[in-house]
Amino acid sequence: MKIDDLLTEQRNHRSTHIDRETTLEMVSTMNHEDQRVARAVQKQLPQIADAIDAAYPKFDNGGRIIYIGAGTSGRLGVMDATELVPTYGLADDQTFGLIAGGSEAMDHTVQDAEDSEELAEQDLQKIKLTDQDILIAMAASGQTPYTVAGLKYAGQVGTLRIGFSCVAESPIEQNCDYPITPVVGPEVITGATLMKAGTAEKMVLNMLSTGIMIKSGKVYQNLMINVVPTNEKTFDRAKRIIAEATQTTPLVAERALHRVNNDVPLAIVLIETKGTIAEARKMLAAAGGRVSLAVKLSHEAQQVPASH
């Protein structure tokens, strides 16, 4: 399909007079269009959930979350990966983004990079893509050659492929295992897909990555429990997280944290189960590192009557 024929490139009849609107009318027009984005994403919730359920077991088993895209789509992917590392205590090699044209493309447009299919294959070969990895490919148009080629190569490798686009029945949708396609319609400014399409991508990536982290045990209740206390600031944050999670005092949290050598999840399980460090560690291991399940297993064990 020609780029001019894509829905994302069409004129939006609701914003044809935006250059003559007052400033308040202008931002109201933008806001009304953004509300359409949330509804378009809402229609894709079952597809997003399916993608999360397919991805997190691979991540649990050592698979990497890899984003691939060009231009604005690629930059949003790099940003999502970058934020996951400190938020959930991941290593740099557990998640990262690939963008057509490399790091230079984060600040500048790299001419012709997004049209290069060979570049996508080279980038994925360089990181040694495997069938244990998760590849999230993003392109508003659904047909960026670099991104589509990345999906095709990943298909040959056997990698789990999640594809984001804003155009139905696009090459991205046709070359991935889990397509997510919020059709947001024409942009407020014709062709400016950094707007509605970009907002939709940010919303979807938030759900995907956060969902994988939650299912992989990086969250307890709604708290980030994989913070690594390395200085006074992060130690205080860890104390607050433990105290809030266990409904105890900062002093109790601090003592537990010291006892378990600054392991936040283990400190929470230790307080919640009221046992020994060895018992808490064993319960956490049995739960695959998931604090919620470890606490549940401990409570169930305590309720089982002793045999005579």
Q: How many residues are listed for the chain in this entry?
A: 308
CB 40 within 8 A of CB 71: no
For 162, which DSSP code?
E
Out of 9, 25, 104, 114, the active site residue is 114
Residue with tokens 């399909």: 1
Please list, residue by residue across 34-56, b when 16 or more beta carbons sit within 10 angstroms of its beta carbon and e when fewer do.
Answer: eebbeebbeebeebbeebbebbb
For 305, which DSSP code?
P
Q: Give the CA count within 13 Å in the CB-facing half-sphere of 210.
A: 10
Between CA 261 and CA 259 the distance in angstroms is: 6
Out of 83, 117, 244, 254, the active site residue is 83
Between CA 257 and CA 265 the distance in angstroms is: 9
3-state helix, strand, coil in the chain (%, to 5): 55, 10, 35
Is there a catalytic annotation at residue 169? Answer: no
Is there a catalytic annotation at residue 114? Answer: yes
Greatest CA separation found in the chain?
85
CB 116 within 8 A of CB 145: yes
What pairing do the DSSP bridges indicate for beta strands 65-69 and 95-99? parallel
Between CA 165 and CA 137 the distance in angstroms is: 9
Q: Give backbone dihedrals phi and psi of 129, rounded to 5 degrees, phi first.
A: -55, 135
CB atoms under 10 Å from CB of 228, counted, come to 12
C-alpha distances out from residue 283 to 227, 279, 287, 296, Å: 20, 6, 6, 10
Catalytic residues: 83, 114
